């Protein structure tokens, strides 16, 4: 195995187990459920490890068989688990009912009171956990889980800024989780976005954070990006995808990467026409990993956007939360190569 590429990436967030009925069946019809491991931040850690980067996962898992499944899944794909804490408690779960034809997929969370949600924010030694890191990757899902997790994310981001570690923040807005807490999360997410160097967010996200609902309109995308750069001076890059859904298994996907630097301001990639989609879950995380890979390697904006989108497209063909595609496989997708590998 070749040596890891320069730059260690630390990912922090909750890991979950996914339970799904077989394709074509509703949860109420299922006599068996498929199980896989995931979680937005863990998905990024695994993807980057597969691309040759040194990655580490920081989380709290139950000291139980489900928790061990998650730890083993990280180890299997080369992610450092030294920052994974084990406590008493329960594992967060989610139930995915795959969609078909014009029936959309459905996700039901069962994660309240998980070991991660209940973990003491003070139990994470962020100076030690971030030592030697070049990036910290977090998402808006963790603060939606509960106040303790929100505090932990905030402390991680502040410590990263102090140590000179760049911060990647995926907006990942989860309305149902915020609603369960009786709020929309705008104030909390706005404070976190102010700590980020790289944001995975679109006009709808910035409309919420800035209290400007008109920015959610597709035709005001450039205005939304400009408003975000003005409101969050730390931001250097904003990345997002545009998806058009024809049926559950037929989508069109594009990618956009915007830079604050006016001399190298914007890049777009796509579109890709996606048919017979295997699994949409984790595609945004695959995109995030592809963008981070390009920034770590010092590539140009066009190359970064193209590779990030190709990573997201490739994930649509892979079952489970993790994008297990290699760099070569993603490059083949980017090049449109459909021949059999020999």
Residues annotated as catalytic (active site), given as ranges:
285
Residue 9's beta-bridge partner residues? Answer: 55, 135
Do the beta carbons of residue 268 and residue 258 sit within 8 Å? no
- Side by side, the strands of the sheet bearing 198-200 are 80-87, 53-62, 5-12, 133-139, 166-170, 198-200, 237-247, 250-259, 266-275
CA 314 to chain centre: 15
Burial class (CB in 10 A: 0-12, 13-18, 19+), 261: exposed
What lies within 8 Å, CB to CB, of 252 at 6+ separation is: 243, 244, 246, 270, 271, 272, 273, 274
> Helix (H) and strand (E) counts for the chain?
13, 13
Residue 25: strand, helix, or coil: coil
Neighbours of 186 (CB within 10 A): 16
Residue from 292, 341, 276, 322 nearest 43 by CA: 322
The string over 120-151, giving b where at least 16 C-beta atoms fall within 10 Å of a residue's C-beta and e elsewhere, is ebeebebeebbeebbbbbbbbbbbbbbebbbe
One DSSP character per residue, 28-55 reads GG-S--EEEEE-HHHHHHHHHHHTTEEE
User: Helix, strand, or coil here: 15?
Assistant: coil
Distance of CA 226 to the CA centre of its chain: 23
């Amino acid at each position: 195995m070749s040596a890891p590429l320069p730059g260690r990436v630390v990912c922090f967030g909750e890991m979950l187990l996914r339970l799904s009925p077989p394709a074509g069946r509703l949860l109420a019809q299922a006599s068996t459920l498929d199980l896989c491991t995931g979680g937005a931040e863990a998905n990024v850690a695994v993807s980057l490890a597969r691309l040759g980067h040194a990655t580490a996962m920081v989380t709290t898992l139950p000291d139980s068989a489900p928790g061990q499944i998650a730890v083993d899944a990280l180890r299997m794909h080369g992610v450092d688990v030294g920052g994974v804490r084990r406590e008493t408690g329960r594992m967060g779960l989610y139930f995915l009912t795959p969609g078909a034809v014009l029936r959309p997929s459905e996700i039901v969370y069962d994660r309240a009171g998980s070991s991660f949600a209940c973990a003491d924010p003070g139990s994470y030694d962020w100076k030690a956990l971030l030592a030697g890191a070049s990036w910290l990757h977090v998402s808006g899902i963790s603060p939606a889980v509960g106040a303790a997790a929100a505090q932990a994310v905030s402390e991680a981001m502040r410590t990263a800024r102090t140590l000179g570690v760049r911060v990647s923040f995926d907006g990942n807005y989860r309305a149902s989780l915020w609603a369960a807490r009786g709020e929309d999360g705008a104030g909390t997410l706005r404070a976190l976005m102010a700590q980020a160097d790289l944001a995975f967010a679109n006009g709808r996200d910035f409309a919420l954070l800035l209290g400007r609902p008109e920015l959610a309109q597709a035709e005001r995308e450039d205005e939304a990006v400009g408003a975000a750069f003005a409101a969050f001076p730390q931001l250097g890059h904003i990345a997002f995808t545009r998806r058009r859904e024809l049926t559950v298994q037929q989508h069109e996907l594009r990618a956009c990467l915007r830079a604050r630097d006016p001399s190298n301001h914007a890049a777009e990639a796509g579109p890709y026409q996606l048919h017979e989609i295997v699994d949409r879950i984790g595609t945004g995380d695959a995109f995030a990993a592809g963008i981070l890979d390009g920034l770590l390697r010092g590539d140009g904006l066009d190359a970064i956007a193209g590779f990030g989108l190709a990573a997201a497209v490739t994930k649509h063909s892979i079952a489970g939360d993790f994008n297990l595609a290699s760099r070569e496989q993603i490059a083949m997708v980017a090049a449109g190569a459909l021949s059999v590998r020999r």
